């Protein structure tokens, strides 16, 4: 059975990698390639899928099996509403959602299948589980720091993935990330508190994505790192999630832990 995809943000870096991945995936077909209304690609045929042209008309996109959206929070919420209206599954790769927007997504996920993940790399999602294990063993006494680096076009900081790492650590330690996260250090700030989790941000050139977590004690330090050199890894994970989602029931908001079955490890 061929699965028909709607891609929102199709002209962007991730959108282009998603289209490339679909062209290499058996039984996957691009049905719609949606872009911003100022995109120069509007009306042009999509490479690899010449029968599809780049479009801005979300309301006209109705004949698809699953949608993937890597755009902006506001644009993604429009896609969410559209999929809700049509009863279609949705994979969300957009970062920067507010707590209220995440709550809205979770509510809609009780009506249609939705995957929301900060990172669609298989390796990073394995790292989420590894930091939980490290936090359970060392987190009560070690100083925890998260360092992330991305390209100079990235607009949010810390990255959604860095914050997700913090959430997984706090899950293991029964802490509230909002209360213990330190995202800026400048001037005379005093000594480090024991429970805080520090975030350091680097923005430079064409760095695709790098994340390192320190669990530092006097005399030793564990570093867990994940580095991405090609965005295609995110696209492959998102397409994998979309194909998985087409066979899932509603009732909960899914993430890549569910897609990869990591809780069964």
Give the tens place of pLDDT for each residue, 57-89. 999 999 999 999 999 999 999 999 999 999 999
For residue 128, what pLDDT band results from cuts at 50, 70 and 90?
very high
Between strands 66-69 and 90-92, the pairing is parallel
Question: Which one is catalytic: 129, 154, 171, 183?
Answer: 154
* Model confidence at 96: pLDDT above 90: no
Catalytic residue (choose from 8, 82, 150, 226): 150
3-116+231-260 folds as Rossmann fold (3.40.50)
Distances in Å between the Cα of 82 and the Cα atoms of 58, 66, 252 are 8, 12, 19
Residue 123 annotated as binding site? no
To the question of whether residue 95 is assigned a binding role by annotation, the answer is yes
Q: Is 232 exposed, middle or buried (0-12, 13-18, 19+ CB in 10 A)?
A: middle
Q: Is 43 within any annotated ligand binding site?
A: no
pLDDT, tens only, 31-58:
999 999 999 999 999 999 999 999 999 9
**Is residue 39 a known part of a binding site?**
no
pLDDT of residue 264: 87
pTM exceeds 0.85? yes
**pLDDT, tens only, 146-161:** 999 999 999 999 999 9
Instruction: Give 230-240 pLDDT, tens digit per residue.
Output: 999 999 999 99
Say if residue 11's pLDDT is above 90. Answer: yes
What are residue 132's phi and psi, to 5 degrees? Answer: -60, -45
Q: Is the pLDDT of residue 27 over 90?
A: yes
State how far Cα 97 lies from the chain centre. Answer: 11
The CATH class for the domain spanning 122-228 reads alpha beta
Q: Is-catalytic flag, 150? A: yes
Contacts of 127 (CB under 8 A, 6+ apart): 165, 211, 213, 224, 226
Asked if residue 43 lies in contact with residue 33, where contact means CB atoms within 8 angstroms, the answer is no
**Is 153 annotated as catalytic?**
no
**120 annotated as belonging to a binding site for a ligand:** yes
Cβ-count burial of 230 within 10 angstroms (0-12 exposed, 13-18 middle, 19+ buried)? Answer: exposed
> For the chain, what are the domain ranges?
3-116+231-260, 122-228
Indicate the angle between helix axes 232-245 and 13-23, nearest 10 degrees: 60
Does residue 16 surpass a pLDDT of 90?
yes
């Amino acid at each position: 059975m061929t699965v028909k995809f709607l891609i929102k943000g199709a002209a962007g870096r991730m959108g282009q990698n998603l289209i490339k991945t679909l062209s290499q995936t058996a039984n996957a077909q691009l049905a719609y390639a949606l872009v911003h209304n100022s995109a120069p690609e509007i009306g042009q045929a999509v490479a690899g899928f010449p029968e599809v042209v780049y479009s801005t008309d979300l309301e006209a996109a109705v004949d698809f099996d699953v949608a993937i959206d890597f755009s902006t929070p506001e644009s993604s919420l429009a896609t969410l509403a559209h999929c809700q209206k049509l009863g279609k599954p949705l994979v969300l790769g957009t970062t920067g959602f507010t707590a209220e927007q995440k709550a809205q997504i979770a509510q809609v996920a009780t009506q249609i299948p939705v995957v929301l993940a900060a990172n669609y790399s298989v390796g990073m999602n394995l790292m989420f589980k590894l930091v939980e294990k490290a936090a359970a063993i060392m987190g009560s006494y070690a100083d925890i720091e998260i360092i992330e680096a991305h390209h100079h076009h990235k607009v949010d900081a810390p990255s959604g993935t860095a914050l997700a790492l913090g959430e997984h650590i706090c899950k293991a330690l029964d802490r509230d990330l909002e209360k213990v996260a330190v995202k800026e250090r400048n001037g005379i700030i005093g000594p480090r508190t024991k429970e805080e989790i520090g975030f350091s941000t680097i923005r430079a050139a064409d760095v695709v994505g790098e994340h390192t977590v320190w669990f530092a004690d006097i005399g030793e330090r564990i570093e867990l790192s994940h580095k991405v050199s090609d965005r295609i890894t995110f696209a492959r994970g998102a397409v994998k999630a979309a194909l998985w989602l087409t066979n899932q029931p509603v009732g909960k908001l899914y993430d890549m832990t569910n897609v990869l079955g990591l809780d069964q490890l």
